[in-house]
A and B are shown apart, each in its own frame.
Chain A
């Protein structure tokens, strides 16, 4: 894989992607959220999913991450070997591997794990499954660097984030994904709870990531933020015309 092709070969491709929810408990109501959706995402791009709420923007991110299961269509993610893996057909193991090495997802809400200190939550991706990329001490050092950059006071580092403010939790979430850069980054409203100063930091972080060749797919509620980071917008329309 040449440097050139690495940057022109897409990181993510969604083809004819459809998602229906079949709600068995509500008289088997079928809810179509996405239909025949197409998307190509290249390294270094930051593509924005825009549109009114309820149009399936978060769903697209969750499908890309494997958090939701597609009803039909393809989701192709490039793995570390340069091969495309179809998420819709991949084994659980393959998806876990992709999540470890190829994609990161910053959800809107931090799922709080009781008792684990903020610094350890951020350091965790570096220590996963005895990967032994770094020692525990080094991982914590890097976590400290990110926490500092995102202005989390040191007094909070040893505390579990359960009692943190929404903005603080969001920054923990971001640090946790950025500490271990992966070629595909999925961002769901990354600055929603942040003040202007921290918002600017996140803008810088996204910009740096793009320069490093990371492919980003995101939802940004704030147009002024989008203006700074986004290279292309895909607007999600009501279902008849999703392109």
Chain B
């Protein structure tokens, strides 16, 4: 097993805390919710979201899902915007090291569980892996229809005209669909789902993915799932079909022309550089000749 570079104070397992922080009954409740979610792809299952030792908006949903499925033989990778090194990713990873003592890694292919905020790794996932997404707003129609009573009915009756209203608006105002992230998808031909604020560039990766995809929203108390090999289609119009983003340049560090690139400002004169958002993917490509 590959290890990440040692950091100053690598946390050790704190045996005063129950494995993965949550009590066993809570984990059971969450697992039941996960099972239900997997049985109904794309459907938002309510769950008893617990108070976690960090505020809402920092990934409490994703953490609770991971905490409920993680076992001592699992290998965990945590990324935030594609990087293993941001504050959020580092802190969540340390949290699980303290509460479970499991192996952690930055290598996508070595992980059995990947918790992510706002990106899907470039390296394709495989059968047996689980990816857990952190979700702020699970309801894709929320800003057009704030009443949950109503959106529940819309989902139940498959009344999804409203979603296209959103896209229509984009086309009307910008000439093209501007939602570049959190782009709504139709799961298994039935439920419309928010894929979490991943860039639409990543949407195609969700389709027929061999891994299990789980979604946790802590503040909103919802869990949903896309089982392996499930169809996930991004919405669009007949004359304006879904399109992914493209860049003119390649990654300046590894030369990739197919990955999602971040724009980095280099100096006060506005000089910029494009680099892969997925740090593991990029560094692996740099190592190879």
Tell me, yes or no, whether A and B come into direct contact in the complex with CB atoms closer than 8 A.
no
Interface residues of B, Cβ cutoff 8 Å to A:
none
Interface residues of A, Cβ cutoff 8 Å to B:
none
